[in-house]
């Protein structure tokens, strides 16, 4: 399993336009390392809770195997929550975002809307807990973000910190 392909090229262009080559990026929920592959010129660390996925990750400066709540960090220029918050309870996702908000210049959150999913490939963390997310619910639960990209059917969106 990995993150969805919707809008990835548009988001990569946005990152390249807004972050210099020396920027540091944290990829939360790295899964199959798609963001590392798409943004090869950046120094990138990863957080991955499922060890079999983490063991396959290549090209990251550092890979933290475990829950993002146990990974204490100081600063990244950009933090990407790529298809992650739907796997957490609202309270846990809000806490992770609040912690990250003060430790980055910007943050990207990728969200599938109204999408249920169970465990995948023996990974219990693949289950979608917030399978009720819509643009309206995202805005209520996660204030201070604005859309960067959404697919035409409004099934998927990338948000970043409102400036």
Q: Tens digit of pLDDT for each residue in 5-37?
A: 778 899 999 999 999 999 999 999 999 999 999
Specify if 58 maps to a domain: yes
Q: Name the band, by pLDDT with cuts 50, 70 and 90, for residue 126.
A: low
Specify if 1 maps to a domain: no
Question: The domain containing residue 83 runs over which residues?
Answer: 8-161
Specify if 140 maps to a domain: yes
Specify if 2 maps to a domain: no
In the chain, how many domains are there? 1
Specify if 105 maps to a domain: yes
What CATH number is associated with residue 94? Answer: 3.40.50.150
Torsion of CA 49, 145, 154, 78, to 10 degrees: -50
pTM of the model: 0.91
């Amino acid at each position: 399993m990995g993150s969805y392909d919707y809008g990835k090229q548009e988001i990569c262009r946005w990152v390249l336009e807004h972050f210099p080559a020396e920027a540091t990026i944290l990829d939360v929920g790295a899964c199959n390392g798609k963001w590392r592959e798409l943004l090869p010129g950046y120094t990138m660390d990863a957080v991955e809770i499922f060890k079999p996925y983490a063991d396959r990750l290549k090209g990251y400066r550092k890979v933290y195997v475990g829950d993002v709540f146990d990974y204490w960090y100081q600063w990244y220029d950009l933090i990407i929550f790529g298809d992650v918050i739907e796997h957490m309870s609202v309270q846990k996702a809000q806490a992770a975002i609040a912690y990250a908000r003060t430790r980055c210049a910007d943050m990207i959150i990728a969200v599938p809307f109204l999408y249920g999913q169970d465990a995948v490939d023996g990974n219990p963390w693949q289950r979608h807990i917030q399978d009720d997310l819509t643009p309206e619910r995202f805005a209520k639960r996660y204030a201070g973000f604005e859309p960067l990209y959404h697919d035409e059917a409004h099934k998927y969106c990338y948000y970043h910190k409102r400036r």
